[in-house]
Amino acid sequence: MTWAVPAIAGLLIAFAAISGRIDGTPITAPIVFTLGGLALGVAGSDLIELDYAGEAVKLLAELTLGLVLFVDASRIDFAALRRQLALPVRLLAIGLPGTIALGIVAALVIFDEFSLPEAILLAVVLAPTDAALGKAVVTLPSLPTVVRQGLNVESGLNDGICVPIFLVVLAIAHTESGTVGGGAAAVLVFEQIGYGIAAGIVAGAAAGTVLVIAGRRKSIDPLWVQIVPVAAAALAYTAAVGVGGSGFIAAFVGGLAFGVIRRRAGGDVSHLIEEFGDLSSAVTFIVYGAVLLGPALGNLSWAVFGYAVVSLTVVRMLPAALAMIGLHARAPTVGFVGWFGPRGLATIVFVVLIVEEPHELPHESLLLTTAVITIGLSVVAHGLTAAPLAGRYSSWYRSSSQRT
């Protein structure tokens, strides 16, 4: 680990120097960080020597997803969401289960080795999307708001939805493989979900209440307004873990509670926590490229590559298209929404959590390799196409609107 921190810090500084130039181009931050990590990791110069099953990698991954879950949940404006509810609700209620179901079928067809629980686990691991991989799609103002908001809300919520599903499926997979007893697994899952929800509500509501009351009394310094949500996310996560709950569920529920209450205070309170989230996400993609993608490329097979392609196309796009039936969306809109379902941060964290389990699944190596390769393919494919396709779709939408 001697040169890992200097190498990561150097890459962050180098990226900062070009960040303004590449903004809005097909070269995205996740591409740069992933490829940079690959060059600096075990498959390249070997400067970043970290054990992917080690505590440092686990801590980074958990910190990053916890912050992202809290921020995404706290941003949800339920009043505004009700006005544009149809697309994200359909993508989550129809598209997400459909993606998991098709992912299971594809895994059983392509991989003879997988048991049904392992196929379900792979499908769930690859179900959540990551809007950051195609930033232009959710930030370009010329795109129709309903599409931008729909994809952004879907990405923000499906991480939190998939966490409890992942915990349940992981427990089932270990039970079926005989590594953990069914009763013990069930108790563990219910404790993680229940304690996670309770800790999240308490931490988020307490932090939001402090902001509202202190804001009215003008007793809080503006700097500390930004620090409160960071502390709230940390409190929710660590309190849940301390009592045996899921820190991720706590972070998501805490963000929901915090967001609902803190809106009464008004103003922007998320600047600092978003900066923390962006930094930890950048480091996570560097570490992903260095310690996960490099070894996975050494185990790449046609079956793994084929599943990755199917996962990013048919498995995502067909359920998304079915979810949009009845919305009167035209073919370019259906294709655009279906294509931009990139896999990223949540899947990386799920991979790390599987590795951290004390008991190994029968075909764990194949499962993890497939997930890691799918993320890598998504980083490149969705990153390179985000800006060009967003521009083309925006032009089509404007011309189509003018004709009607």
Give the residue with greater pLDDT, 42 vs 237: 237
Q: Tokens for 193?
A: 């979900």
Mean pLDDT of the chain: 85
Is 90 exceeded by the pLDDT of residue 136? no
Q: Tokens for 295?
A: 């070894």
Contacting residues for 328 by C-beta, under 8 A, at least 6 apart: none
Task: Domain count for the chain, please give it.
Answer: 1
Q: What integer is the mean pLDDT of 177-194?
A: 59
Instruction: Give the pLDDT band (50/70/90) at residue 181.
Output: very low
Contacting residues for 137 by C-beta, under 8 A, at least 6 apart: 131, 143, 148, 151, 340, 386, 389, 390
Q: How far is CA 323 from CA 96, 147, 262, 290, 319, in A?
A: 9, 14, 33, 37, 6
pLDDT above 90 coverage of the chain, percent:
33
Distance in angstroms (rounded) separating the CA atoms of residues 309 and 113: 19
Chain segment 241-286, per-residue pLDDT in tens: 888 888 888 888 898 899 888 876 666 777 788 888 888 889 899 9
Q: What CATH number has the domain bearing residue 105?
A: 1.20.1530.20
Q: Which of 44-58, 72-86, 209-223, 375-389 has the highest mean pLDDT?
A: 375-389
Decide if 136 contacts 84 (C-beta within 8 A): no
Chain segment 295-347, per-residue pLDDT in tens: 899 899 999 999 999 999 999 999 999 999 988 888 999 999 999 888 888 89
Residue 178, pLDDT score: 54
Is 80 exceeded by the pLDDT of residue 354? yes
Chain segment 64-104, per-residue pLDDT in tens: 888 888 887 887 766 666 666 788 889 989 999 999 999 99
Instruction: Give the predicted TM-score (pTM) of the model.
Output: 0.86
Distance in angstroms (rounded) separating the CA atoms of residues 79 and 313: 33
Domain that holds residue 306: 4-403
